[in-house]
Amino acid sequence: MTLSAALEFRELASQDEQQAIDAHWAMLDDDFEFLPTWSADELWEDYTYRMSAGRRGEHIPQGWVRSALFGAFDDGELVGRVSVRYELNDFLLQNGGHIGYGVLSEHRRRGLATALCQFGLREVQEAGVSSALVTCEGTNLGSIATILKCGGVPDSQVPYLEAADGSKTLRYWISTQSTP
């Protein structure tokens, strides 16, 4: 199955509630939060408002940075998401970077992760970021390939971080100046 020409990136809205929540529960099986900071106790309208406000730089909690969440829709179907952090604090410099993306399992191997990463790179470039930090688990071969395809270069200072359990988080920098 290939990507349609109708691939759309946009903030989540009222009509996306069921698809997004279903995606969130499905991705938890992969230990991935499709809806960062979402709780089933929070009204969907409050969540989408909070995400939109974060993109505008409003109502940002202490210790957080301006950020946004975008869904990727293929002919109206939610197939993935990308989180964008327009700046880095000490935590994000070590854990997470500027861009985080996820593709629902049934839509993988179609180029969506690359499209999500490229969208995120354009988004941070528009905010004045010239080089974006993107990280991934050392065992995630698909994400490594995506980052390299988008121009990722291993961090020359700290190429990876090792957790207490021995797992590694790889760190890459991508110039936003060459993003298609």
Neighbours of 157 (CB within 10 A): 7
Q: Write the burial class of residue 70 (CB in 10 Å: 0-12 exposed, 13-18 middle, 19+ buried).
A: buried
- The vertex-101 CA angle with 167 and 107, nearest 5°, equals 105
Tokens 């009222």: give the residue.
14
**Residue 39 to residue 170: CA distance in whole angstroms:** 29
Q: How many CB atoms within 10 Å of residue 105?
A: 11
Contact 78, 19 (CB under 8 A): yes
Q: How far apart are CA 123 and CA 52, in angstroms?
A: 14
Q: How many residues does the chain have?
A: 180
Could you list the pLDDT tens digit for every one of the 180 residues in the chain?
Answer: 455 567 899 999 999 999 999 999 999 988 889 999 999 999 999 999 999 999 999 989 888 999 999 999 999 999 999 999 999 999 898 888 999 999 998 999 889 999 999 999 999 999 999 999 999 988 989 999 999 999 999 998 888 888 899 889 899 999 998 766
Would you tell me how many other CB atoms lie within 10 Å of the CB of residue 96? 18
Entry pTM: 0.91
